[in-house]
Amino acid sequence: MAERSLKLEIRDMTKRYDNGDGVEHINLKIYEGEIVTMLGPSGCGKSTILRTIGGFLDVTDGDILIDNESIVKLPPEKRPTAMVFQSYNLWTHMTVYENLAFGLKLRKIPKDQIRADIDKHLKLVSMSGFEKKYPTQLSGGQQQRIAIARSLLLKPSVLLLDEPFSALDAKIRQQMREELKKIQAELGITVVFVTHDQEEAMALSHRIVVMNKGKFEQVGTPTEIYDNPATKYVASFIGEMNFVEKDGKTVAVRPEDVAITSEPADIQGCVRTIMVLGHYVEVNVQCGDLVVKCFVDRDQSERLNPGDPVNLKFLKTHIF
């Protein structure tokens, strides 16, 4: 990413709410054409950061720059950002076309140009032919597509998405995720995405910022964060992880890195449950008070029965 130009920079930014909550000393650089996801549980401050970028919250301290220019003093309507909210994005008293045209009209763009732009963007989000519909006549997923199109129409420098898919059902969510990734690749736009869904973050992002209690726990690519979690919190938040206490240290091992063998290995136990999850099988092994989760292939699982004594070998571990 280093060869790419810097798009958005957050410099030592602090936002404190009246009740003392907030985020402190946030530093982040986001490069042109990147999808960066803020990931964390609700209340961790991820939306706060997004809203300070969008201009919906004032910062207490620090600076935010886009293309090396400070935007921290600008109101939302003057910022080169566009935001898609979790829900109620569209104006219910306007048709899809009017929703899309509103921002362009404010910019005094000629009518023909507006029509052409809207046609193009409706095609981009696969919503051609819906111009005359009102938002309440659309499904949640369709509304979010229009909301994304509306934001993209304004050619923002940075697109901000605040849990845009969390109100949608699982299947639509996956589909929207894939489409967003495609659109982003086509346009090369810089995206800051906020979610509490680690799977969504892994699937979409070039880089993930894992947040906890107003602080960054780790910043890295999905692979880096999955393979080398920096803290125990990141290890537990991203993907599945077993934690085993050994010699006063916590050993973390992913279920796919636990091998079931008959030879003496790291830890002993008895098979507790066997669950087929499609092409792989989850085997839970009771080791004293602890239940260790292992992912094994179908062939091996067929030789196992609940109650069988087994040895577990940790192929790859993280020590915290």
Given the rule CB under 8 A, which residues bind another protein? 54-56, 75-77, 81-83, 85-95, 102-103, 106-107, 134-137, 147, 150-151, 154
Residue at token pair 């892994």: 202
Of 12 and 102, which has the nearer Cβ to another protein?
A: 102
Residue 23 CA to residue 17 CA, distance in Å, equals: 9
Task: Give min distance, CB of 67 to another protein, in A.
Answer: 18
Q: Between the CA of residue 24 and those of 13, 160, 213, 229, what are the distances in Å?
A: 6, 20, 10, 22
Of 25 and 73, which has the nearer Cβ to another protein?
A: 73
Task: Give min distance, CB of 142 to another protein, in A.
Answer: 15
Task: Give min distance, CB of 199 to another protein, in A.
Answer: 25
Cβ contact 245:229 at 8 Å:
no
Of 4 and 105, which has the nearer Cβ to another protein?
A: 105
Task: Give min distance, CB of 88 to another protein, in A.
Answer: 4
Residue 87 CA to residue 103 CA, distance in Å, equals: 19
Of 85 and 216, which has the nearer Cβ to another protein?
A: 85
3-state helix, strand, coil in the chain (%, to 5): 30, 35, 35
Distance of CA 87 to the CA centre of its chain: 17
Measured from the Cβ of residue 210, the count of other Cβ atoms closer than 10 Å reads 26
Task: Give min distance, CB of 114 to another protein, in A.
Answer: 13
Of 103 and 140, which has the nearer Cβ to another protein?
A: 103
